[in-house]
Amino acid sequence: MSPHTVLLSGIVGSTAYGLAHEGSDIDRLGVFAAPTEEFHGLHTPRASHVTSAPDRTLHEAAKWCRLALGGNPTAGELVWLPDELYEVRTPLGDELIAIRSSLLSARRVRAAYLGYAAQQAKRLTDRAAAGPLPAGARARTAKHARHLKRLCHQGLGLYTTGRLEIRLEDPDAFRAFGERVAEEPAHALRSLASYERAFDEAQSPLPDHPDEAPAEAWLRRVRAHHYTAPRRPAPGAR
């Protein structure tokens, strides 16, 4: 995959949220377009490319759209980054940012964000059930707890406003939450239950279902832009 096929890419994860500390990895996420003709052979192109050192995940355009339409929090944050966090931004990437709201739906935002948070909570409580936490596990527990709260906080904000705020206003509150959960893992379940009630009580401006038409139209423009017509022989050539 050549670099010019990347349509949109930026820094995500802890650095974007404001939760990074010295030594934190820098995570990058992007969308790329495979050559259109590769979809017409026996073997379709890879849907994702994942590397480490540097940590980067690139999803092919169609896969990214499916993830975003499904409410996937990790994929979706790419189109809500502050401008300074984008490292690759093409005209087609800007078009994707422009249709970001059409990808959202109340049901899928709630299910995805609370679902991911519930998975984090289960990891925390399962780890605590195994006995006292060693030092390494304590740090990992605090990290998972921070991300549990972050998922709930960002998800509720997106659900109630229709906008995803990437940068956390008070990162220290999330760090303090992580340390408290490391001391008392059951606090994670109480916090999750509190956010579930907040979702129940909130009114969302988002529709029940996403509007797939803008994503479909955008994907067709991507395919047209990355199509190379077969070369025709010159007149008289054999």
**Tens digits of residue pLDDT in 173-230:** 999 999 999 888 889 999 999 999 999 999 999 999 999 999 999 999 999 999 986 6
Task: Tell me: do 41 and 131 sit in the same domain.
Answer: no
Q: Model-level pTM?
A: 0.90
Task: Tell me: do 136 and 186 sit in the same domain.
Answer: yes
For residue 111, the tally of other CB atoms under 10 A from its CB is 14
The structure tokens listed for 139 are: 């740090």
Q: Is residue 187 part of a domain?
A: yes
The structure tokens listed for 30 are: 């992007």
pLDDT at 17: 97
Q: Is residue 125 part of a domain?
A: yes
For residue 170, the tally of other CB atoms under 10 A from its CB is 10
Please name which of 99, 65, 75, 104 lies closest in space to residue 9, comparing C-alpha atoms: 75
Q: Is residue 75 part of a domain?
A: yes
Task: Tell me: do 77 and 111 sit in the same domain.
Answer: no
Please name which of 126, 168, 125 lies closest in space to residue 147, comparing C-alpha atoms: 168
Question: Is residue 35 very low, low, confident or very high in pLDDT (cuts 50, 70, 90)?
Answer: very high
Q: Are strands 48-51 and 55-60 parallel, antiparallel or unpaired?
A: antiparallel
Task: Tell me: do 135 and 161 sit in the same domain.
Answer: yes
> At residue 134, does pLDDT exceed 90?
no
Q: Is residue 173 part of a domain?
A: yes
Task: Give the CA dihedral 93, 99, 105, 111, nearest 10 degrees.
Answer: 10
Task: Tell me: do 69 and 50 sit in the same domain.
Answer: yes
Domain count, the chain: 2
pLDDT at 42: 86
Lowest mean pLDDT segment, chosen from 1-5, 13-17, 189-193: 1-5
pLDDT at 150: 97
Task: Tell me: do 186 and 120 sit in the same domain.
Answer: yes
Task: Tell me: do 188 and 135 sit in the same domain.
Answer: yes
> At residue 58, does pLDDT exceed 70?
yes
